[in-house]
Amino acid sequence: MVDVNVAPFETEVRTRAGDLVRADVYLPAGSDGPFPVVLGASPYQKALRHLPPHPVFPFIEYGPIQLYLDNGYAYVAMDVPGTGRSEGTWDPVSRGEGEAIHDMIEHVAAEPWSTGAIGMIGMSHYCWSQWNAARTRPPHLRTIVAYDGATDMYRDWMYHGGIPIQGFLSTWLFGSVLVQHEIEGIGFHVGGKQDFVYDVLSHPLDDEWQRRRSPFWELPQIDIPVFSIGVWGKAALHLRGNFYGFERVRGPKKLLVAHPGSFAAAQMYYFDEDFHRTELLPWYDHHLKGTDNGVMDKPDVRFYVNGEGAYHSAASWPPPDVRTSTFYLAGEHSGAVTSLNDGTLTETKPVADEASTSWSYPDPGWMAGVTVFDEHGVPDHVARVNTFTTAPMDKDREFSGHATLTLHASSDQTDMDVIVKLSLVSGDSGAGLPIKVSQGWLRASHRAEDPQLTSDMRPFHLHNGEDPLEPGKVYELHIELLPLSFLARAGDRIRLEITNHDSLITDAPMTHFYGQKAGTDTYHHDRLRPSALHLHERPRP
């Protein structure tokens, strides 16, 4: 179960904030060095490194340490301030935490066993630490390999579209941080760790507290080489951050979007030594050892196409050859699914003067969020939501890039949550489960957009205030969908789901507080108010 055959020793440094922070150092056996260093930082207690990578231990995110020792690297595992063996107050992903990692990097660079060439390593929270430290520009940080990690904490996971997260906040904060510390004899109150959940829920807007823990705003300060690796299966938590990270940093950069299709698969993939030998180790060798291995000659963007099972490459994201395809919401029945409305998506503009879909909530059939169960206990995730489904595709069509939903909507309430999912449905008589290929969220009172950061296919909402709805008035909402890539083969369908609640089965752990929502919402899809799904589409050979 333990993948390291050498014992670590501890190193410590007093940070600029006055905290004594500590890290474990692993050195290759049989050599005194000096060595280039890969450093990982998290609140997950370096003392727990003996636990194996497994979905029951989702906080094990450091990667195959022994592989790096065998290839001549030192590995440093740091407890961030206020966690594990490090003193101070836990202020997760804040700029202050990034500065503490900065100070550890510079301390390590000066050690006799170090060459002074430092890279950062690790997934998920360890990736947050990479973005966070890199924005502080440590002089000896030569590169980061940012696997599966958000950059804008407000938009990426704390408040999707302004809607507060519930499921992930609970499982991560209590399951991976607080309880694990308590088991190790470090109480909830040590380092102020218990305060974070209250802080999150006390800052529902993108205010100064949120900005301090969002490296997004300082990504253009990063000019070292960056390898950003996203994972389709964790799109609702991290994927947006990997795309924005790649886009906004200024130095040499590459983007890889890998195939793992779930939270658990993303974790296990990161411990696959072949993946590291093929992708990560050559990057570190080039940037930390100076090895001329051609790693920078690879395409700037590589991405796995869902539904095709193949990787494609491009010079940029979105790929430069995309065009925008538009699918309009319509009230005619698709006949493809049992749902609240069974509407259609069509590439023909609506001509009716009045057309709309109304529904009331909470739905009496909901049982596990929006999921219902039949008399045999079989779950149905769409029976009690609104769906709009295309006709079967008449040819293979690849959709890769960005997506957005323009929704003309009204409510009898003063606010409205919109939760949308996009799925690829097999044309083989519906055989197999639909593949979720994207999703998006918006609280209507947060509809104001940032004109500097918004583009035609990617709205960027300000989230700096609330603008209540006037009941009965129709509003045009622009809902950002997460980046996507999928192949819809001839005979396949695309399905759009719209509701205001999550499935506690298919959307876990990225589920949201339902709150006190009770009312009726209406989605308009007529000639004057043409609600539509916009997708980037690539030409096929």
Work out the percent of the chain whose per-residue pLDDT is above 90.
94
pLDDT at 428: 67
pLDDT for 433 equals: 78
Q: What is the pLDDT of residues 423-475, one digit of tens each?
A: 999 986 445 579 999 999 999 999 999 999 999 999 999 999 999 999 999 99
pLDDT tens-place string over residues 31-66: 889 999 999 999 999 999 999 999 999 999 999 999
Question: Is the pLDDT confidence value at 8 over 60?
Answer: yes
pLDDT band at 4 (very low <50, low <70, confident <90, very high): confident
Quick one: tokens of 203? 């800052």
Q: What is the pLDDT of residue 197?
A: 86
| pLDDT tens readout for residues 266-292 | 999 999 999 999 999 999 999 999 999
Dihedral in degrees, nearest 10, Cα atoms 43, 199, 234, 287? -50
Digit-coded pLDDT (tens) for 403-427: 999 999 999 999 999 999 999 999 8
| Predicted confidence (pLDDT) at residue 493 exceeds the cutoff of 60 | yes
**DSSP letter, residue 167:** H
Q: Which whole number is the average pLDDT over 196-204?
A: 92
Rounded-to-integer distance, Cα 508 and Cα 368, Å? 11
In tens, the pLDDT along 347-358 reads 999 999 999 999
Q: Which two tokens stand for residue 179?
A: 């309880």
User: What's the CA gap between 279 and 287, in Å, rounded?
Assistant: 13
pLDDT, tens only, 328-371: 999 999 999 999 999 999 999 999 999 999 999 999 999 999 99
- CB–CB of 535/325 below 8 Å? yes
Whether this model's pTM surpasses 0.85: yes
Cβ–Cβ < 8 Å for 169, 200:
yes
Rounded Cα distance between 483 and 320, Å, is: 15
pLDDT digits (tens, 9 = 90+) for 511-529: 999 999 999 999 999 999 9
Q: 397-411 and 475-488: which strand pairing?
A: antiparallel
Domains in the chain: ranges and CATH: 9-152+219-298 (3.40.50.1820), 323-537 (2.60.120.260)
Sorted by sequence, the CB contacts under 8 Å of residue 232 that are 6+ apart come out as 239, 257, 258, 259, 260, 261, 304, 306, 485
Is the pLDDT assigned to residue 127 strictly greater than 60? yes
- At 1, the pLDDT band (50, 70, 90 cuts) reads very low
Please give the single-letter amino acid code of residue 215.
P
Q: What is the DSSP string of 119-137?
A: EE--BTHHHHHHHHHHTT-
The dihedral formed by the CA atoms of 48, 74, 119 and 318, expressed in degrees to the nearest 10: -70
∠ at Cα 232 (209, 71), nearest 5°? 90
> Considering all CA atoms of the chain, what is the largest pairwise distance in Å, rounded to the nearest integer?
79
Assign 188 a pLDDT band (cuts: 50, 70, 90). Answer: confident
- 82 DSSP 8-state letter: T
pLDDT at 2 over 70: no
Output the pLDDT for position 31: 86
Give pLDDT, residue 222. Answer: 98
